[in-house]
Amino acid sequence: MIDLRSDTVTKPTEEMRKAMYEAECGDDVYGEDPLVKKLEDKAAELLGKEAALFVTSGTQGNQIAVLTHCQPGNEVLLEEEAHIFYYEGGAISAFGGVQTRTIKGNRGAINPNDVRNAIRSEDVHLPETGMICIENTHNRAGGAIVPIENMREVYQVAQEHNIPVHLDGARLFNASVELGVPVTAFTEHTTTVQICLSKGLGAPIGSLIAGSESFIKRARKWRKRLGGGLRQVGVVASPGLIALTKMADRLKEDNDRARRLAEGIRNIRDLKINNRVDTNIVLVDTEATGKSVEEILDLLKSNGILAVPFGPTTIRFTTHHHISDEDINQTLSTFQQLFDTVKK
Ligand code: TLP
């Protein structure tokens, strides 16, 4: 199978599996797992923050950020298709007791003036704005890179009002290798950040959140409350360290393959590319085929290709380290067999 459903499907490399086998372990709730400590220190250093915390998933990391920054009754500002709003099962309200206020973005970027206008003033009737979220790269905007300048402006507005900015950086390394800048170029415009090790970076499990020492101390308590305090977790921190230190540079290949896939699909009549392919996600509009998304996904599956539905007429394809040039060729030739090809 050519599995283009998500970069979450990546399996640990040989080097990661070996490191897992050999991992030195300790009880991390007692703060005694040496590899977790090493991973958290490395992440804090790379992300330019005082401290970091290893968490089980991107969702848990984002939710711990919400719980740590906000009080029940607060309002969180975020882009209208942000993962925290769209894909986390309403956790932000279920656990945090906060409400969301969404802002329509442009390729995932929220306009700083819209943010300024959405921040609540001091009034007995109004909720307090507890936090602002940015997502980079932006998943539903097709892996779009939110410009660093936009992040700087949003952060400035937030700082004027003393509101924390949290970055959902599940795929932040895809953006940093694409622009050829360190991840700190993005994270310097945020109060806290969440990065995923288990997407393009290829680790089997885990995310990190990073911020100030005092934020991470409070976040650690939230992680424990949520049942996320783990014990001999060095076995998953060890592949995480490899992911963080050795797997980022190769993400450029994933971004380039996604662009090649999009270029090929552009030559297929009735299919349209819906996004500018900045990184490893390609959104294909299938409306003109006259077939439903489910029918097309079934057809692709019977030809050995997996992708995911992403809207009534949209399919998402995501590249990652198990997808080779040959897989892209095969995917494109399958499309050519299934649909008419014309030069557009
Ligand atoms: N995204 C998954 C699905 O949940 C949609 C995917 O296949 O893309 N932030 C962003 C921007 C994400 O894309 C994801 C995962 C998460 C957070 C959550 O990470 P996990 O799956 O580790 O909880």
Copy the structure tokens of residue 267.
Answer: 């030559």
pLDDT at residue 322 greater than cutoff 90: yes
> Which ranges in the chain are annotated with CATH 3.40.640.10?
7-246
Mean pLDDT in the chain? 97
The answer to whether residues 188 and 172 touch, using CB atoms and an 8 Å cutoff, is: no
Given CA atoms 83, 157, 127, 101 in this order, what sign does their dihedral have? negative
Q: Is the pLDDT at 341 greater than 80, yes or no? A: no
Dump pLDDT digits (tens) for 108-120.
999 999 999 999 9
| Separation of CA 92 and ligand 1 centre (Å) | 15
Q: Which CATH class is domain 7-246?
A: alpha beta
Position 344 scores a pLDDT of 53
The two most distant CA atoms of the chain are separated, in Å, by 63
Transcribe 159-201 into DSSP letters. HHTT--EEEEETTHHHHHHHHT--THHHHTT-SEEEEESSSTT
Q: Is the pLDDT at 148 greater than 70, yes or no? A: yes
Atom 4 (ligand 1) nearest CA = 87
- Is the pLDDT confidence value at 303 over 80? yes
Quote helix, strand, coil % in the chain, to nearest 5: 45, 20, 40
pLDDT at 342: 59
Task: Tell me, in angstroms, the distance from the centre of ligand 1 to residue 255's CA.
Answer: 17
Q: Which CATH class is domain 250-343?
A: alpha beta
- Specify the ligand 1 atom closest to the Cα of 6: 7
What is the Cα–Cα distance from 327 to 265, expressed in whole angstroms? 14
What mean pLDDT comes out for the span 189-197?
A: 98
- Whether 200 shows a pLDDT value over 90: the answer reads yes
How far is residue 10's CA from residue 8's CA, in Å, rounded to a whole number? Answer: 6
Backbone angles phi, psi at 192, to 5 degrees: -140, 165
- Per-residue model confidence (pLDDT) at position 343: 52
Instruction: Cite the residue boundaries of each domain of the chain with CATH code 3.90.1150.10.
Output: 250-343
* 135 CA: nearest ligand 1 atom: 11
pLDDT of residue 339: 86
